[in-house]
């Protein structure tokens, strides 16, 4: 019973940790300043485009200046999210961007062209998770890729995060869409060795690990 109550309280803290100012949400840490902080991104202005995932483009290679991370995408679980990610990869959108928010023991977050958690791609997409009325059975376990968002459930665009340690309390609230198949040692290295400025995982521009490119295998 106590465990269930604690989980409910934690979930409430996660939702309250997302604050908005002038209509733009910014990432904030929970009072405990622990891995219970939630990934967040500012909403972008456009509506979700009609997209279909390419079943041939499900193996991605994320080249960073720290090492190579390989992942598999799951279009059967999150077709809108995967199609959007594929589109951005095809456009070279992620090439040269960074991981701007890093919390060791929780996750690494990147894909923001502004590099501060407030940017994104032109289109926002439908949030594919249970709290938004869409079933998504991919749990936020170690290695899972998921979309960052603001408190607007349909605000995800380009920012994504890679779960470093099991964070299943995020299930049903964020759109998980893939999983690392090789390179979790690189994720660990990024999480453990990148200097951060606060408990929310803010990384100064000069210290942000670089995404050299994301391509398909």
In this structure, the chain runs to a length of: 217
Reading the block at residue 115, the tokens are 């590099």
Q: pLDDT for 56-97, tens place per residue?
A: 999 999 999 999 999 999 999 999 999 999 999 999 999 999
Q: pLDDT for 88-139, tens place per residue?
A: 999 999 999 999 999 999 999 999 999 999 999 999 999 999 999 999 999 9
Mean pLDDT of the chain: 85
Query: Looking at the predicted structure, is the pLDDT value of residue 148 above 90?
Result: yes
Query: Looking at the predicted structure, is the pLDDT value of residue 16 above 50?
Result: no
Spatial distance between the Cα atoms of 141 and 188, rounded to a whole number of angstroms: 14
Q: Which helix (H) or strand (E) holds 179?
A: strand 176-182
CATH homologous superfamily of 2-29+39-216 equals: Cyclophilin-like (2.40.100.10)
Q: Is 172 exposed, middle or buried (0-12, 13-18, 19+ CB in 10 A)?
A: middle
Give the pLDDT band (50/70/90) at residue 51.
confident
- List 73's β-bridge partners, or say none: 178
Q: Which 8-state DSSP code applies to residue 17? A: T
What are the domain boundaries of the chain? 2-29+39-216
- Under a CB-based contact definition with an 8 Å cutoff, are residues 46 and 140 in contact? no
Dihedral angle computed from the Cα positions of residues 6, 15, 40 and 119, in that order, rounded to the nearest 10 degrees: -170
| pLDDT recorded at residue 82 | 99
Reading the block at residue 41, the tokens are 């991104």
The answer, as to whether pTM is greater than 0.85, is: no
What separation in angstroms does the CA of 134 have from each of 41, 42, 47, 182? 20, 21, 18, 29
């Amino acid at each position: 019973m106590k465990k269930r109550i604690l989980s409910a309280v934690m979930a409430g803290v996660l939702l309250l940790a997302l604050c908005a100012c002038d209509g733009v949400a910014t990432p904030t840490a929970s009072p405990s300043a622990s891995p219970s902080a939630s990934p967040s991104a500012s909403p972008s202005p456009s509506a979700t485009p009609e997209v279909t995932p390419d079943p041939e483009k499900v193996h991605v290679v994320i080249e960073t200046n720290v090492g190579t991370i390989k992942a598999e995408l799951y279009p059967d679980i999150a077709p809108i999210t995967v199609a959007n990610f594929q589109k951005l990869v095809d456009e070279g959108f992620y090439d040269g961007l960074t991981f701007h928010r890093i919390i060791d023991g929780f996750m690494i977050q990147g894909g923001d062209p502004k590099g501060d958690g407030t940017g994104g791609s032109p289109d926002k997409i439908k949030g594919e998770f249970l709290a938004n009325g869409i079933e998504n059975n991919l749990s936020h376990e170690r290695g899972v890729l998921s979309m960052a968002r603001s408190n607007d459930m349909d605000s995800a665009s380009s920012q994504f995060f890679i779960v470093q340690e099991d964070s299943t309390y995020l299930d049903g609230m964020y759109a998980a869409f893939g999983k690392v198949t090789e390179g979790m040692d690189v994720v660990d290295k990024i999480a453990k060795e990148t200097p951060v400025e606060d408990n929310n995982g803010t990384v100064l521009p000069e210290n942000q690990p670089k995404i050299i490119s994301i391509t398909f295998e």
